[in-house]
Each structure stands twice: as structure tokens, then as C-alpha cells.
Amino acid sequence: MVQSKVTIVGAGIVGACIARCLGKAGHDVVLVDRNDPGSGCSFGNSGAILSLSASTQLPGPRLLAQIPGMLLDRNAPLVLRWRHLPGLMPWLAAFVAGCREQRQVETARAMATLLSDTTGAYDRLLKGSPADALIRRNGTLGLSRTDEWFSGDSWRRELNASLGARMEEVSREELDQMEPSLSSSVVRAMYYPDAYSTLDPAGLTQQIVRDTLAEGGQFVQAEVRDISVENGKPTALVTDKGEMTVDRLIVAAGAYSHQVARKMGIRVLLNTERGYHVDLDGTATGLQRVLLHGEHALAINPRPNGLRIAGTVEFASLDAPPDYRRARALWNKGREVLKETCDSEPPSMSFWMGRRPTLPDYRPVIGPAPGLKNCWFAFGHQHLGMSLAARTGEIVADLVADRDPGVNLAPFRANRF
Ligand SMILES: Cc1cc2nc3c(=O)[nH]c(=O)nc-3n(C[C@H](O)[C@H](O)[C@H](O)COP(=O)(O)OP(=O)(O)OC[C@H]3O[C@@H](n4cnc5c(N)ncnc54)[C@H](O)[C@@H]3O)c2cc1C
């Protein structure tokens, strides 16, 4: 039974999960992307699928105090490429204005309403799919190399715990049993049992798209260049491959979503936090799960034939060329965590840069497009798009069906800035 035709712009993990949820609900789904599915930011991320332990977001007074020092250090986990400052100013001004304690707590509470069922949403979405084999259900470990850092981060753990996050400190002996390949540079560790991870973020995204197509969905490779709006509704996408009529439209175009929204006359204060990865092929570590290293702002994901080290935040324009020295630096920082990889260069390394879609308050946009009928937005998932995608898909499917998603979407409205 076809309920309605829904077109989704963007076949990253967010668009893929939305398409799958809508397809399951009986809608006729058309996914549109200028590139292959899963080749944007969803391609090379760290693969952690986090839940309530990720409720607290970066903007806050503590980060604000650290920023001046970071901006002077080229190797800091957060860098600004100064040449791009003028274009970044409106976003940065809103970011700085939001770095208040009360705002940080409000955002954490709002994010918890999305994060409380991230893993359950993947269980439901992937039931019966070969993609389920790409999920590890064994938690994550948060690592610290100094007691000072670990203690200094306790406020964040406490805020997350007050929102329901489960976590336990792990002694060095327990850590050696869980992950024997960790080096002595790790002095404190927390275990987050509720997290999942994927060993292949791109493969997961692509398999979800294949599942959608297998049940009648369509994928159209085309770049959306304009959108016709009539009587307050989007009616057609103008693409490089011609015009496509639309009935209901979802914008899930990651870091480019503001450009797509602008075609319908809607301004959204979206920017990109660029991040990097280095993939080390042929590096066998025996690691069982994703490791999150707060001090170095990186994550380590053991992959079937190697290892991925990913992270850092770089502010520059959307189309600025990558600076792969940052990816290389990830290897230098990540190697200290692992015994086996410390001694020598790995046999092969590949570098990647991805654009996280981020609003100044680090809340995504999920909900109706302001002032339009038959159009919804789902983007701005920042560092948590892999984690939040399946849950976002369920929420959007509820909105399209005019059902209450059971989540207060007011904190996530597009026109809050
Ligand atoms: C280094 C790094 C590590 C990360 N680690 C994690 C992690 O461990 N856990 C986690 O939860 N998140 C993580 N993230 C964040 C996560 O990767 C993103 O939030 C997520 O991939 C965003 O997904 P998306 O579908 O919104 O965007 P994308 O994957 O970028 O997809 C958007 C798609 O829209 C298409 N598009 C854009 N404009 C147009 C147009 N005009 N016409 C047609 N198509 C268009 C693009 O081609 C693209 O395919 C990480 C990010 C980085 C950079």
C-alpha cells in the first residue's frame, strides 16, 4: 500500500535511515544525491553509535575558556583557519553567545530526548538486514592519560549520568582484560556499556540504501540546483539531470542543507566542523570496541583489516581544501594509546576529511520547514549523525504520517537563530 511519494535530498546516513523508515511505513521513496550513497560525511567517521553518555555538547563556559589557547596552537584538537574568519563570523558569534552554563544544560536535556533510544532505533531499523552484521553491541571505552583530565571532565559525566547515562570506571587490571593492546599511556578509563559501534560506517549507510531499494525505493543520482515552490509547497527539484516533481520533500543534505533550504527562501545558520581520519590498513591490534580519547579529541575504531583514527575540529569554509597534516597528526596522537602500533609506521595509511553539519548550539534541525507545507528538515547532526540517524528516521516518519513522534521538537526547530 503506497501512502505517499516522499523525496529525500541527501543519501548520507541520515537520509538513508529516513528513507528506510518511510519505505517500511509503505511510502514510495525517492532518494536524491549528487554522489554515491554514503560518500559524504557518513563515509569516514569513527563509527561510534552513542546514547545518553553523549548528551552534553561542546558549547559551554569551559570550552570558551580554552579556545584562545587552542587558536594559537596549530596542533590543538580545535583549529580555525583564519583566512575563513569573515565567512564564519555569524556562526561563531552565535556559538560564543551560547557558551553559557544554563544553555549547555538545556541543550543536554534536549539532546537526551533524542539520544535515549539511538541503539534501539538501529535494532528496529536493521532487523533482518545484512547490515546488522556491521554493528558491534559491546559499548565504548573513554580513555584519559592524566588524572587531571579525568577529574576535570567529571562535571560532564555527572550531567550525562543525571540524564540517565550508564557508565562505570574500569581499573587498569580490568582494562587489560577488556583491551590487552592498550599501552601504559592510559591511566584512567570509563566504560559506557550502552553504546554500539559500526565497523564500517560507509558500508552500513550503503546497505540501508540497498534495503530501501530492494523494497521498491528509488535512488536518483542528481544535484539539486533549485527548488520550485508553489502555494507554500515544494513542487519540483531542478537538478543537473532535469526537473523532478515532488509531493513531499525531506532535506537531509548534511553540511550543504542550508544551501538547499535557501532555494526555498529559508535561512538556516548551519556551518561545518571539518574532521579527519587516517585509516591504517594491515594493522592488527586485537581491539574489540571503539575507544574515545577526550584529551586528544579522537576516536579509534578497529576495522576488519586495520584501524581508523578519526577526530579533530577544523573551522574553515565548506570548500576549503583539506589539510591532511591534521590526519597525519591523528596517527601521531593515536599511536601512543596502542602498544603494537607504537614502534613502526603502518604498511599503508590513507587520509580523509569530512564535513560535520553543525549549528551554533550543536542541536540538529528536525521538524517541519518553517512556512512550508509538505516539507521537513533533518540535518545538523554534528558529531553525532551516525548515532542519531536511525532515531531521526523514526521521528521524520512520524511527522510525515502526522503522528506525534513523542519528542518535543521545539529545541530543534530550524528558525531558532
Ligand atoms: C572525523 C569524524 C568523525 C565522526 N565520528 C562520528 C561518530 O563516531 N559517531 C557519530 O555519531 N557521528 C560521527 N561523526 C559525525 C557524522 O559523520 C555526521 O554527523 C553524519 O555523517 C552526517 O550525516 P548526514 O547524512 O547528515 O550527511 P552526509 O553523510 O554528508 O550526507 C549528505 C549528503 O547530501 C548530499 N548533497 C548535499 N547537497 C546536495 C545537493 N545540492 N544535491 C544532491 N545531493 C546533495 C551529499 O552529496 C551527501 O551525500 C563524525 C564526523 C567526522 C568528520
Average pLDDT per consecutive 10 residues, the chain (417 residues; last block may be shorter): 87 98 97 98 98 96 85 81 87 94 97 98 98 98 96 96 98 95 94 98 98 98 98 98 97 98 97 95 88 94 91 93 93 86 72 97 98 98 98 98 97 96
**Do the bridges between strand 233-239 and strand 224-230 make them parallel or antiparallel, or are there none, so unpaired?**
antiparallel
Q: Report the alpha-carbon distance of residue 402 to residue 397 in Å, rounded.
A: 9
Ligand 1 atom at minimum distance from 385 CA:
19
Taking CA atoms only, the protein residue closest to ligand 1 atom 51 is 45
Residue 368 carries which DSSP code?
A: E
Q: pTM (2 decimals)? A: 0.97
Q: What's the confidence (pLDDT) of residue 340?
A: 66
Among candidate residues 110, 116, 105, the one with its CA nearest the CA of residue 59: 105
Q: Report the alpha-carbon distance of residue 294 to residue 299 in Å, rounded.
A: 8
Q: Report the alpha-carbon distance of residue 126 to residue 203 in Å, rounded.
A: 13
Spatial contact of 341 and 300, defined as CB atoms under 8 Å apart: no
User: Going along 203-297, which residue ranges are E strands?
Assistant: 218-221, 224-230, 233-239, 242-245, 248-251, 271-281, 290-293
Residue 182 carries which DSSP code?
A: B
Q: What's the confidence (pLDDT) of residue 17?
A: 98
* Centre of ligand 1 from the C-alpha of residue 152, in Å: 31
Q: What's the confidence (pLDDT) of residue 176?
A: 95
Q: Which three cell numbers stand for residue 42?
A: 557518513
Ligand 1 atom at minimum distance from 14 CA:
25
Residue bearing cell 528558525: 415
Taking CA atoms only, the protein residue closest to ligand 1 atom 50 is 45
Taking CA atoms only, the protein residue closest to ligand 1 atom 20 is 385
* Centre of ligand 1 from the C-alpha of residue 103, in Å: 25
Residue 77, sorted as left (phi over 0), alpha (psi -120 to 50) or beta, turns out to be: alpha
Residue bearing cell 597528526: 329
The residues lining ligand 1, judged by C-beta closer than 6 Å to any ligand atom, are 9-15, 32-35, 39-42, 45-48, 223-224, 252-256, 260, 275-277, 299, 310-311, 354, 356-357, 379, 381-387
* Centre of ligand 1 from the C-alpha of residue 272, in Å: 10
Element (H, E) at 375: strand 375-379
* Centre of ligand 1 from the C-alpha of residue 181, in Å: 31
CA torsion, points 403, 409, 412, 417, in degrees to nearest 10?
A: 110
For domain 5-61+106-412, give the fold: FAD/NAD(P)-binding domain (3.50.50)
Q: Report the alpha-carbon distance of residue 248 to residue 279 in Å, rounded.
A: 39
Taking CA atoms only, the protein residue closest to ligand 1 atom 18 is 385
Q: Write down the number of H helices and E strands in the chain.
A: 12, 21
Q: What's the confidence (pLDDT) of residue 341?
A: 60
Q: Report the alpha-carbon distance of residue 192 to residue 190 in Å, rounded.
A: 7
Q: What's the confidence (pLDDT) of residue 283?
A: 77
Q: Which three cell numbers stand for residue 199?
A: 565497523
Residue 231 carries which DSSP code?
A: T
User: Going along 264-359, which residue ranges are E strands?
Assistant: 271-281, 290-293, 298-303, 306-315, 348-358
Q: What's the confidence (pLDDT) of residue 3?
A: 78
Residue bearing cell 574500569: 170
Spatial contact of 386 and 40, defined as CB atoms under 8 Å apart: no
Ligand 1 atom at minimum distance from 48 CA:
8
The domains of the chain are located at: 5-61+106-412
Ligand 1 atom at minimum distance from 239 CA:
42
Q: What's the confidence (pLDDT) of residue 2?
A: 63
Ligand 1 atom at minimum distance from 276 CA:
1
Q: Report the alpha-carbon distance of residue 251 to residue 249 in Å, rounded.
A: 7
Ligand 1 atom at minimum distance from 355 CA:
53
